């Protein structure tokens, strides 16, 4: 049983900090939402590390939006729906493709400098996009440029207060309404932050897996908190593995952008043979799930732990100019992207599911919103189209702020909320070991390919960790582990339930997509059985 709060507390014993809008997380969703909300309200932006530490910072490929004359929102819509494999919400996708271009203009207005060629925005292509529509910055450092520009704005705006290095432990809720958050400050003291709206922008869950392109901070905090608070969580079985992360002894699983394939790079097995023609007509630019599984099949067939990515047909000047970050990082390990084939393998990259929201980012709890990777707006379905995530954050961030403006302030007086399980002893096993064990279980039994037996094994292994929730937790590493455990259970339960293969969820024992039974979402709610909901993909 997962409790509603990670710690024992009495709200009336805690100091209270009042604001209008609480934003949790500092990736593109958090920064952008905070900036827009601050035009009319006081904002408190809380981040567990710094404004520059988030998944967004590592985004390379770019941001997808229709800006070229030969492109159209209709094409972008078709591509998104096709990649989403029958589980997108078509209305949510309509919003994304029609409002994405305005979102890009807003980022430019706020200081983001996208790459320009011959006086026009430079556009690249990525997997499953029918047109060149990916804007990028400094070649392959798009996320960093966005975070740089937005964090300068955040620091300048008087209506935004930033709490960095603060950890949000839980949301405070009563009768289906969110009142704010329980926060642990740098010195270990805890406070209750109260606001008329709380916007969860805490990002993804790459750290569920041993091999991930995500930074250390991606520990599923937002989705786990919202689940404990009683919000509806949707489609957690869909975890996207990026096909090409650097796979080299001593090197991190550094992302090698899909844009490298977009510019013509090919995949080769360790015998040097191209192989994607065996798997999909779009070859290296097939949807991500297909490329990732094709790579694993080739790795198995050739008994290797990697395949090669080859862009050596391009000139060294082009490679260095277009992919400076990737080039420099590979060089640190003695690999020259312009002359060497780069060893790559798939790694956990993106959580398609999350906190279920409507078209205004509202969750099933009143006054709780979700934006960015932590949310499940319906845009990504079973498989996110490359570079749609940054556009989703700005499009839905704007809508959330519009909705918050219409919300009444919290009533006077504090809710009488307390929680006491009589927890005493802290965790016995070292937290680092627990985390590593969980990540290995998820890779082995609930990874890119799963089956009922492996998933039941995962469930059993994770279930052994449940007593952790009964211990008295005080450190952020402990809260993070509790969040990883919560989210991994949701991934595994959803994956057991979905007896078919679709998008990023591949069941070896049910290898076909089954629209008759499974064009449905899986919903989780604490203390309730999982339920299903028919998809409105049309
Ligand atoms: C990439 O550059 O390949 C990552 C882009 C994305 O995940 O959307």
Q: Reply yes or no on whether the pLDDT at 61 is more than 90.
A: no
Is residue 138 left, alpha or beta, with left meaning phi > 0 and alpha meaning psi from -120 to 50? left
Please tell me the distance from the alpha carbon of residue 65 to that of residue 122, in angstroms, as a whole number. Answer: 12
What pLDDT is stored for residue 358 in this prediction?
A: 98
Atom number of ligand 1 nearest to Cα 349: 7
What would the mean pLDDT of 60-69 be, rounded to a whole number? 94
Q: Reply yes or no on whether the pLDDT at 235 is more than 70.
A: yes
* 371: its two tokens: 């934006």
What pLDDT is stored for residue 166 in this prediction?
A: 98
What pLDDT is stored for residue 124 in this prediction?
A: 92
Selecting among 234, 288, 367, 399, the annotated active-site residue is 288
Partner residues linked to 177 by β-bridges:
174, 366
Q: Reply yes or no on whether the pLDDT at 52 is more than 80.
A: yes
What would the mean pLDDT of 209-229 be, rounded to a whole number? 97
What would the mean pLDDT of 171-188 be, rounded to a whole number? 96
**What domains can you pick out in the chain, each with its CATH number?**
15-238+352-404 (3.50.50.60), 244-348 (3.90.700.10), 424-510 (1.20.58.100)
CB 61 within 8 A of CB 142: yes
Atom number of ligand 1 nearest to Cα 350: 7
Please tell me the distance from the alpha carbon of residue 107 to that of residue 529, in angstroms, as a whole number. Answer: 42
The answer to whether residue 444 is catalytic is: no
Distance 380 CA to ligand 1 centre (A): 14
Distance 104 CA to ligand 1 centre (A): 17
Q: Reply yes or no on whether the pLDDT at 411 is more than 90.
A: no
* 479: its two tokens: 């809260």
Q: Reply yes or no on whether the pLDDT at 412 is more than 90.
A: no
| Burial class of residue 415 in the structure, from the number of CB atoms within 10 Å of its CB (0-12 exposed, 13-18 middle, 19+ buried) | middle
CB 19 within 8 A of CB 195: yes
Q: Reply yes or no on whether the pLDDT at 8 is more than 80.
A: yes
DSSP β-ladder status, 116-117 and 160-163: unpaired
Residue 300, C-beta contacts closer than 8 angstroms, at least 6 positions apart: none
Distance 19 CA to ligand 1 centre (A): 35
What pLDDT is stored for residue 538 in this prediction?
A: 63
What pLDDT is stored for residue 424 in this prediction?
A: 81
Return the CA Rg of the chain: 22
Residue corresponding to tokens 């937005």: 150
Distance 185 CA to ligand 1 centre (A): 33
Atom number of ligand 1 nearest to Cα 126: 3
Quick: pLDDT tens for 452-495. Answer: 999 999 999 999 999 999 999 999 999 999 999 999 999 999 99
Give the model's confidence band at 126: pLDDT under 50 very low, under 70 low, under 90 confident, else very high: confident
| Pocket residue to mutate for ligand 1, from 58, 124, 126, most atoms within 8 A of Cβ | 126
Ligand 1 neighbours, Cβ below 6 Å, are 59-61, 257-259, 386-387, 389
* 29: its two tokens: 């969703």
Distance 382 CA to ligand 1 centre (A): 16
Q: Reply yes or no on whether the pLDDT at 416 is more than 90.
A: no
Atom number of ligand 1 nearest to Cα 258: 3
């Amino acid at each position: 049983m997962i409790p509603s709060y990670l710690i024992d507390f009495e709200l009336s014993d805690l100091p209270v900090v009042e604001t209008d809008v609480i934003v949790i997380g500092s990736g593109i969703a958090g920064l952008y939402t905070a900036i827009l909300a601050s035009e009319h309200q006081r904002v408190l932006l809380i981040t567990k590390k710094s404004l520059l530490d988030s998944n967004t910072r590592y985004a390379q490929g770019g941001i997808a939006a229709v800006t070229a004359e030969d492109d159209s929102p209709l094409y972008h819509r078709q591509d998104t729906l096709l990649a989403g494999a029958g589980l997108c919400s078509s209305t949510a996708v309509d919003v994304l493709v029609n409002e994405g271009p305005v979102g890009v203009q807003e980022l430019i207005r706020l200081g983001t400098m996208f790459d320009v060629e011959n006086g026009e925005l430079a556009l690249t292509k990525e997997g499953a996009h029918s047109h060149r529509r990916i804007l990028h910055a400094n070649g392959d450092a798009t996320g960093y440029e966005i975070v740089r520009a937005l964090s300068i704005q955040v620091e300048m705006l008087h209506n935004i207060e930033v709490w960095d290095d603060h950890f949000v432990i839980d949301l405070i809720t009563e009768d289906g309404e969110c009142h704010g958050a329980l926060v642990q400050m740098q010195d270990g003291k805890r406070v209750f932050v109260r606001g008329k709206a709380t916007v969860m922008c805490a990002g993804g869950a790459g750290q569920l897996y041993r091999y991930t392109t995500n930074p250390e901070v991606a520990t599923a905090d937002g989705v786990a908190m919202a689940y404990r608070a009683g919000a509806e969580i949707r489609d957690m079985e869909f975890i996207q593995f990026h096909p090409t992360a650097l796979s080299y002894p001593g090197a991190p699983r550094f992302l090698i952008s899909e844009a490298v394939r977009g510019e013509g790079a090919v995949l080769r097995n360790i015998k040097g043979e191209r192989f994607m023609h065996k798997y999909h007509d779009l070859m290296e630019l097939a949807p991500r799930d297909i490329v990732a599984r094709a790579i694993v099949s080739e790795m198995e067939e050739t008994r290797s732990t990697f395949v090669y990515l080859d862009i050596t047909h391009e000139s060294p000047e082009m490679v260095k100019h277009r992919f400076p970050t990737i080039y420099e990082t590979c060089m640190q390990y003695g690999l020259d992207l312009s002359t060497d084939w780069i060893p790559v393998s798939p790694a956990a990259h993106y959580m398609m599911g999350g906190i279920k929201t409507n078209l205004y980012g509202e969750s099933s709890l009143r006054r709780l919103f979700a934006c960015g990777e932590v949310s499940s707006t319906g845009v990504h379905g079973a498989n996110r189209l490359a570079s749609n995530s940054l556009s989703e954050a700005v499009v839905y961030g704007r809508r959330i702020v519009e909705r918050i403006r219409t919300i009444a302030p919290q009533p006077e007086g504090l809710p009488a909320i307390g929680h006491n399980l009589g927890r005493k002893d802290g965790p016995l096993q070292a937290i680092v070991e627990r985390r590593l064990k969980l990540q290995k279980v998820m890779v082995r039994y609930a990874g890119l390919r799963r089956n009922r037996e492996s998933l039941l094994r995962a469930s059993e292994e994770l279930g052994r960790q449940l007593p952790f929730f009964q211990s008295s937790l005080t450190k952020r590493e402990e809260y993070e582990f509790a969040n990883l455990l919560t989210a991994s259970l949701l991934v595994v339960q959803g994956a057991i339930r979905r007896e078919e293969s679709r998008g990023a969820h591949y069941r070896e024992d049910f290898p076909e997509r089954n629209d008759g039974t499974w064009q449905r979402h899986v919903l989780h709610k604490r203390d309730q059985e999982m339920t299903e909901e028919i998809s409105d993909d049309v």
